[in-house]
Structure formats: C-alpha cells, structure tokens
Amino acid sequence: MDTQDLLAPRLLALGDAAWTVEFGREISATLNARVMGLAERVALLRHDDPLFATVSDVVPTFRSLSVHFDPLATDAEALGQRLLALAQQAGQQVREGRRWRLPVCFEGGFAPDLPRLAQAKGLAEAEVLAKLLEAQFRVYMIGFLPGFPYMGGLPPELAMPRLASPRQRVPANSLAVAGEMCSVYPWESPGGWNLLGRTPVQLFDLKQAGQPAMLAAGDLVRWYAVSLDEYERLQQLIPSGALPRESFLQAEEPTCPA
C-alpha cells in the first residue's frame, strides 16, 4: 500500500458553513474509497444523529470530502471533531458503486485526436482503442460541468496532456482523455481534453428528476465499441425512453429494441 494511503486525515475549514476532510495529497482508488466510506457514514448519520441533522450537502472529490451545514443551527466545532474521528475510523467504501457498460463510437469523425495520440505513443490506432476498451474506469468525482465525470483508470501508456489550445466547442457526449483521466462532456462546451470517441448515452438528463447526473462517485465504467449505424440507432432510442439508462447496468451488452 502506498504511504499516501496511510496519512492521517486532516480537517480544514471551508468558510464558516462547511468542513473538508482531506485524506491525502495524491489521486488513488484507495484514497477515493476512504472518501466514499466517510460519505456513506455521514449519509447514514444525517437520519440518526442530531449533530448531523443540519448537514445540507456532502461533496466527495478525488481525495477529500466536504460537508456543508447550517452554521446557525450547528455546533460547528463539535461537528468537525466528529467528522475527523469518523475519518480516522473510516475503512474503504461501504457500498460498492454501480457498474456500467456504456457504448462508444469511434467512427464518423468522433475521434479527431486519436491519430495524434497513437503517433505520440508509438501505437496503432487499433491498439489505442483496444487498451481503452480493456480498461475499467472509476468515477472519482463529478465536476466542471453538471454530470461531467472525472474517471481514473486510464492505462498510463495512453496518458496525454491537455491540448495547448482548447477547442471553443466540444460536441456533447464526447469521450475524452487528459493526463491519466477519462471523461465525457455531457454538454457542448469549450474544452481542452483529447477527443477519442462519442457515446449516445446522455450522462446528464433533466428529465431524470431524482438524479439528473447518470454517474456518481464510486461508480465503475467500462466501454464497448459500436458502429456508426448502431450509434445513430441508440441515439434515437435513448432520448425517447425506449432504452432507459438502467439498461446499461447489465453485465452483458444491453438488449436494444428492434
């Protein structure tokens, strides 16, 4: 185990209405699992412990957890010390995240940065895609845009820096990599990540009132390749509700309506 995983948690004030518990200084699955373990404990205590009753939000990141509360109705110092004690006891994530298997298309001009990445790494384009599809990604946090997942697990040999000049427009649902991270742009937006494909799955959907963001911290994601024809078919089915997002939780490829 890396020594970073053994560091004692630190309690940091985030203004007068939030505490941040920091577990380490680097990004790793083990540290993130400790973050999610504490998040799970706090979620349970919000219903059972009066000290946590005024907690309004819990925000996990790569290596820390921020807990927001009502400063007028909370003993902030007592809450902070309790959080630190819980963090020191916290094991890894209590509840395993959901497992997703999501389609991605590499055709139709959806992977403009694939040739450059392959050349930089001395790999054939097919080798790059094979490594991407073999990897399992872990969602560390959601940020930058609503529903934008920061996912670790990119093979180190595919790591690439951000573009020197970001694009002014990145198409929605673009699969992208930067550093050793993978993500999907859920909205059309500016962006500097390397674009390697596009998914027909909507990662942020306001019609999903309970949880507009499809992915959550702790979830695991694998990708499978689809042709341009299949991409276009899925793109029609998914927004209509004929293929709900839960279909992609299955271990095998989801069975699509004809």
pLDDT at 239 over 70: yes
Does pLDDT of 142 surpass 60? yes
Least confident of 39-48, 123-132, 191-200, 242-251: 242-251
Given pLDDT bands bounded at 50, 70 and 90, which one contains residue 89? confident
Output the pLDDT for position 137. 96
pLDDT of residue 251: 58
Q: Which residue has the higher pLDDT, 218 or 131?
A: 131
What average pLDDT does range 102-126 have in this prediction?
97
**Residue 14 pLDDT > 70, yes or no?**
yes
Report, in this order, helix, strand and coil percent for the chain, each rounded to 5: 30, 25, 40
Closest CA to 29 of 128, 160, 139: 139
Q: What are the structural domains, with CATH classification, of the chain?
A: 3-89 (3.30.1360.40), 99-249 (2.40.100.10)
Per-residue pLDDT at 4: 45
Residue 114: the pLDDT is 98
In sequence order, what DSSP letters do the residues of 166-224 get, joined into one string? -EEEE-TTEEEEEBTEEEEESS-EEE-SEEEEE-SS-SB-TT-TT-SBS--TT-EEEEE
The set of residues, in sequence order, having a beta carbon less than 8 Å from that of 169 and lying 6+ positions away, is 188, 189, 190
> Among 106, 100, 111, which Cα is nearest to 215's?
100
Question: The whole model's pTM is what?
Answer: 0.78
Residue 162 DSSP symbol: P
pLDDT at 198 over 80: yes
Confidence of residue 6 (pLDDT cuts 50, 70, 90): low
pLDDT reported for residue 66? 95
Of the ranges 180-189, 208-217, 248-257, which one carries the lowest mean pLDDT score?
Answer: 248-257
Instruction: Calculate mean pLDDT across residues 53-64.
Output: 90
**What is residue 253's predicted lDDT score, i.e. its pLDDT?**
47
Average pLDDT, the chain: 89
Residue 102 has pLDDT above 70, yes or no: yes
> Which one has a higher pLDDT value, 118 or 91?
118
- Cα–Cα distance between 221 and 103 in angstroms, integer? 11
pLDDT(245) > 60: yes
